Amino acid sequence: MNTTPMLDSIILFGTKGVVVLLATSLAILLLSRRSAALRHLVWATALAILIMLPFASTVAPGWSATLPFPLTTSSAGSALRSSDLRVESASESVRDAPAATTQGTSNAPIGSIGTAASPRQNIVPNAAPKFLSLPSLPAMLTFVWVVGLFVVLLDILTGNFLAWRMIRRSRQVTEPDVLAAVDELRSTMRISRDVNVGINGAVRSPCTWGLFRPSIVLPEEALLWSDERMRLVLLHELGHVARYDWLTQLVAHTACAVHWFNPLTWFARSRVLSEQEIATDDLVLQQGNQAAEYASNLLEIARESIGRKQKPLFLTPAAIAMSRPSAMEGRLLSILDASRERTRVQSRLVLATAMVATLVVIPLAGFHPAAAANDPLSPEQSDVAARAEYAISVAPAATEVTAAQTGTDVLPESAPIASIDPMSRPATSTTAASGADVRDDSAKVMLLLSALMSESDAGVRTQIIRILAELDSRLATDPLSKLLISDESDEVRAMCALALAEIGDPKAIAPLSKALLDDSSAQVRRHAARALAEADAVEAVGVLENAARKDTDKEVRAMGAWALGEMRQDSSVPVLLSLTSDESTDVRAMAIWALGEIRNEAAVDGLVVALRDAEADVRAKAAWALAEIRSPAAASALLSGLSDEDAEVRSHIARALGEIGANEAAEPLLQLLRNDASTEVRKAAAQALSQLDF
């Protein structure tokens, strides 16, 4: 098998697949507010294109364009490959290289390169017997792709076989009311195919499988459900049948088999599975069912499925399950969002999409990149090219030896900045050119500092300091530190603090700490606290704690609390807890936020007290902080707070109960989901319920 052309084909259709999926992702961003059914159609179409690309390339009319980079292993233009060559004596090659490079001139023909050490003596065909040689890299990569293809295809076949066996072992539903409901809903949804309904103890939640004669399989306790729940479940599963979701799911799995090496393909598959469930939920709601009631029934089914033990016969990924726990949170939020568009995709749009996909596949499949070279190399030219490539590969070593022999001057890295002419721009060295940029910035800094020290106008000094902050050079640390302590202008000192924060030099921590403690301007003290936090100056934690506790300005105290939160030091917890009783609402709220950032359980009791604060913003942040700490000790207080008069507080408390995993909150959260007037609170309750294990 000629593996290089095959690997070239894999690389080519893989690259085309990346282009298709990136374009699809951009289209999905533009359709973010449209219906889930439309987004599902776009994702499924993209995956179908990925499957068709390898096969369409064999029949589509070919066309090509020259690219500035190669897409395949055969487009590099060289007939000799590194796997077919070997170097006999590297030391001899390096030793002989200077003679070869110094004898030739820029006008010498290619064939004269390497005259002193003939490439034919150094590069020779690999003479190892084939049965002793390792497979070439293209062969190994092709083999890896084939193995991955068969592994994923085997998973698809196994999953569908297990689903088929599950249906064969299911007991047929004979209850007249269930069968009548199925017939009624089939007529309403215009489903002409026969639908089989069965009961199987191995199923944890309702599922659907099949295309021409689809089957719905229900768990054993389904016959104990109320008529309303049974109708909702059947409506959801028949929605999958009406939308041909089993087929699109199979397409997504198959695309992952062909493009298993592309993570974007697996992401697209996950989006297809997610969007098909949301689109089917939308279909249920379009039939006039209440969102809260439907979400409640869906959650109860998920709760029952989690509570049951797994049977030996498991629900395979080939079947479409109604209540997969991993996707429950997003579905509940979507169901409860009254502003979402829930329209179905009409058959005309599906047909138009198929036509567009065909128009995309044909030219894309026929495209083949042309090599950058104008003409293919002959064997003689290939040999010359290989020798030229070899001479170029040893040229750096030759240059180093020549420089050492001729005593060429090299600018030392440790040269003092003052001795470097900023206008000097060596034209022959890339390293020197990049160094010139650094020297230019250094010269700018020195000039600006000189101007800063002689400038009398505070506004101009402020602008110069702002520019120095953008240049981000530590040369400015000492002058700015002096100005931070001594300049008469509050604006200049404040700008010095911000500039030192940008530069991030540890030498600035001491002057920033002094400014935080002693400066007369609250603005300067605030900026100094911020600078210490951004510099991650752990040694200044004590200074920040003192400022947060004792400063007369409430904004400085709040900034000090914020800085302590950024530092995340457990030793700051007592100081922050004392700030939760500060007279300023902003200080209390910031201290509570900082405690949430530190996530120390020693703060739980103080945060529980803060849940009863007079200000709703403080109570909301206390609930958020408790969610970050995730201590079960806060569950009781959070449960009491579910009746808070402020919707934002109730929302944060619901999320906190979910993060903590307070299973005793299941019933109160369910009541919140059903009855709360706030959409945000109901969303938070749904999210929290999806996180509980009950």
pLDDT score for 135: 59
Quick one: pLDDT at residue 600?
93
Q: What is the pLDDT of residue 140?
A: 80
The pLDDT, as a whole number, for residue 322 is 63
* 3-class SS string, 534-567: HCCCHHHHHHHHHHHHHCCCHHHHHHHHHHHHHH
Residue 605 confidence class, pLDDT cut points 50, 70, 90: very high
Q: Is the pLDDT of residue 125 over 80?
A: no
The type of residue at 16 is K
The reported pLDDT for the residue numbered 92 is 37
When mean pLDDT is compared across 137-151, 333-347, 371-385, the lowest value belongs to 371-385
DSSP secondary structure string for all residues of 60-128: SPPEEEE-SS--STT-S--SS-GGGEEES-HHHHHHHHHHHHHH--TTS-GGGTT-SS-HHHHEEE--S
Over residues 648-669, mean pLDDT: 92
Write the CB contacts of 205 (distance below 8 Å, at least 6 apart in sequence): 219, 301, 302, 305, 315, 321, 322, 323, 324
Taking a C-beta distance cutoff of 8 angstroms, is the pair 196, 185 a contact? no
Q: Which pLDDT score is estimated for 324?
A: 64
Q: How confident is the model at residue 412 (pLDDT cuts 50, 70, 90)?
A: very low
Please tell me the predicted confidence (pLDDT) of residue 613.
93
The reported pLDDT for the residue numbered 448 is: 86
> Any idea what the Cα angle at residue 37 is, between residues 35 and 42, rounded to 5°?
100
What does the alpha-carbon distance between residue 322 and residue 99 come to, in Å, rounded to a whole number? 76
Which residues are bridge partners to 368 per DSSP?
A: 64
If we measure between CA atoms, which residue out of 241, 236, 254, 262 comes closest to residue 317? 254
Mean pLDDT value of segment 262-276: 88
> At residue 101, does pLDDT exceed 60?
no
Phi, psi at 124, each rounded to 5°: -135, 155
Predicted confidence at residue 19, as pLDDT, reads: 85
Closest CA to 334 of 654, 564, 37: 37
Return the biggest CA–CA distance within the chain.
101
Q: What is the mean pLDDT of residues 245-268?
A: 89
Check pLDDT > 90 for residue 623.
yes
Span of 79-93, 284-298, 560-574, 620-634 with lowest mean pLDDT: 79-93
Q: What does the alpha-carbon distance between residue 516 and residue 551 come to, in Å, rounded to a whole number?
A: 9
Of the listed ranges 161-170, 356-365, 528-537, the one predicted with least confidence: 356-365
Sequence-ordered alpha helix ranges (H) in 123-222:
137-168, 176-189
Determine the average pLDDT of the residues in 554-571. 92
Give the pLDDT of residue 183. 85
DSSP 663: G
Mean pLDDT of the chain: 75
Question: What pLDDT is recorded for position 418?
Answer: 30
3-state secondary structure of 636: helix
b/e map 181-209, b = 16+ CB within 10 Å: bbeebbeeeebeeebbbbbbebbbbbbbb
**pLDDT digits 0-9 by tens, 449-478:** 888 888 888 888 899 888 888 888 888 889
Phi/psi-derived region of residue 271, left when phi > 0, alpha when psi is between -120 and 50, beta in every other case: alpha
What value does the mean pLDDT take over residues 39-63? 80
Of 303, 648, 686, 625, residue with least CA distance to 637: 625
Q: 428 is written with which tokens?
A: 């022959």
Q: How sure is the predictor about 200, in pLDDT bands with cuts at 50, 70 and 90?
A: confident
Residue 75 pLDDT class (50, 70, 90 cuts): very low
Tell me: the pLDDT tens digits for 179-197?
A: 888 888 888 888 888 888 8
pLDDT band at 43 (very low <50, low <70, confident <90, very high): confident
Above 50 in pLDDT, residue 390?
A: no
Strands lying side by side in the sheet with 215-218: 171-172, 196-199, 215-218, 207-209, 320-321
pLDDT given at position 633: 92
What amino acid is encoded at 67 in this protein? L
> What interhelical angle do 36-56 and 3-30 show, nearest 10?
160
Q: What integer pLDDT is reported at residue 405 of this predicted model?
A: 38
d(CA 361, CA 54): 10
Residue ranges and CATH numbers for the domains of the chain are 146-340 (3.30.2010.10), 599-694 (1.25.10.10)
- 629 falls in which pLDDT band (50, 70, 90)? very high
Written as six digits, the tokens of 83 are 């796997």
pLDDT level of residue 389 (50, 70, 90 thresholds)? very low
Determine the Cα–Cα distance for residues 461 and 465; give it in Å rounded to an integer. 6
pLDDT at 23 over 90: no
DSSP conformational letter for 630: T
Q: Does the pLDDT at position 122 exceed 70?
A: no
311 pLDDT higher than 80: no
pTM of the model: 0.49
For 38, the enclosing helix (H) or strand (E) is: helix 36-56
Nearest to 202 by CA among 128, 305, 132: 305
The pLDDT value recorded for residue 319 is 67
Q: How far apart are CA 330 and CA 687, in angstroms?
A: 8
**CA dist., res. 335 & res. 286, Å (int):** 11
3-state DSSP assignment of residue 367: strand
Torsion angle of the four alpha carbons 670, 675, 679, 683, in this order, in degrees rounded to the nearest 10: 0
**With 80 as the cut, is the pLDDT of residue 204 above it?**
no
Higher-confidence residue: 589 or 444?
A: 589
- In three-state secondary structure terms, 655 is helix
Q: Residue 591 above 90 pLDDT?
A: yes
- 363 CA to centre of own chain: 31
